[in-house]
């Protein structure tokens, strides 16, 4: 016997997750009305959906700005999505504002690891390798990779812990929003200005 799902339950799940009504209804039906299981189901499905959407073209969006500390720090970020409809949603605009605040606070030098010049990565790799000392090669390799990961998490925006929630990286934050809004979202570029620098 199938469980009856009410519009109220679907609305509650949508409120909790921000996912579309049809997906909420499917999740509740699949999990026999269990709200907690439906949330977990949507989160798992969301990560998979985000991976699928990553290849889609994102040409719409907004340029968000933020000025902090009496005009001493300013940030511009271009955040893209697939449709003008999503670009106008409060969730998308909030993400853009949160990214501006993050950039103002964390001062990333690059967007992703791939943006860091190869010679800079090689230099950091050499430093980490010399700090490892006389250890077996496989141990040195692990130490170097660990130090590089730490280095990237300091200078690359996508690897940085989100200032409002340090338990997730910026990349994870964007992936969550892709799953929630159902479109590919790309941080295209950013600029951070600080008076006197």
pLDDT at residue 51, as a whole number: 55
For 166, the token pair is 């340090």
Q: Please report which helix (H) or strand (E) contains residue 57, including its range.
A: none
Q: In the chain, where are the structural domains located?
A: 7-53, 60-111+156-194, 117-155
Superfamily of domain 60-111+156-194: Elongation factor Ts, dimerisation domain (3.30.479.20)
DSSP 8-class letter at 110: B
Tens digits of pLDDT across the chain (197 residues): 467 888 888 888 777 766 667 778 888 888 888 888 887 887 777 655 555 555 566 778 999 999 987 889 999 999 999 888 989 999 999 999 999 999 999 999 999 999 999 999 999 888 888 887 777 878 888 888 888 999 999 999 999 999 999 999 999 999 888 888 888 899 999 999 998 87
Q: Which residues pair with 156 in a beta bridge?
A: 110
Scanning the structure block, which residue is given the tokens 């969730």? 91
Do 7-53 and 60-111+156-194 share a fold? no
pLDDT at residue 15, as a whole number: 72
Rg of the chain taking only CA atoms, in angstroms: 21
In 53-129, DSSP assigns E strands to 60-68, 73-81
Which CATH number does the domain 7-53 belong to among 2.60.120.10, 1.10.8.10, 3.30.565.10, 3.30.420.10?
1.10.8.10
Instruction: Compute the C-alpha angle 18/20/102, nearest 5°.
Output: 35
d(CA 181, CA 89): 9
Q: Note whether 10 and 21 are within 8 A (CB).
A: yes
pLDDT at residue 40, as a whole number: 81
DSSP 8-class letter at 4: P
pLDDT at residue 50, as a whole number: 55
Give the residue from 165, 166, 168, 172 showing the smallest Cα distance to 187. 172
Q: Which of helix, strand or coil describes residue 125? A: helix
For 80, the token pair is 């893209």
Backbone angles phi, psi at 90, to 5 degrees: -65, -35
d(CA 174, CA 114): 17
pLDDT at residue 17, as a whole number: 67
Q: Note whether 102 and 160 are within 8 A (CB).
A: yes
d(CA 92, CA 75): 17
């Amino acid at each position: 016997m199938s469980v009856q799902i009410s519009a109220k339950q679907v609305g509650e799940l949508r409120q909790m997750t921000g996912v579309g009504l049809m997906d909420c209804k499917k999740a509740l039906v699949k999990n026999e009305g269990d709200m907690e299981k439906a949330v977990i189901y949507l989160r798992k499905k969301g990560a998979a959906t985000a991976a699928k959407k990553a290849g889609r073209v994102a040409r719409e969006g907004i340029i968000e700005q933020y000025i902090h500390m009496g005009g001493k720090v300013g940030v511009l970020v271009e955040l893209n999505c697939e449709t003008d409809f999503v670009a106008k949603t409060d969730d998308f605009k909030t993400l853009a504002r949160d990214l501006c605040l993050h950039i103002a606070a964390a001062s990333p030098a690059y967007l992703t690891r791939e943006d860091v010049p190869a010679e800079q990565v090689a230099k950091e790799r050499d430093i980490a390798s010399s700090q490892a000392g006389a250890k077996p090669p496989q141990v040195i390799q692990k130490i170097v990779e660990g130090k590089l990961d730490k280095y990237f998490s300091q200078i690359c925006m996508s690897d940085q812990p989100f200032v409002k929630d340090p338990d997730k990286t910026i990349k994870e934050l964007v992936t969550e929003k892709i799953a929630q809004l159902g479109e590919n979202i790309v941080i295209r570029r950013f600029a951070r200005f600080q008076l006197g620098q």
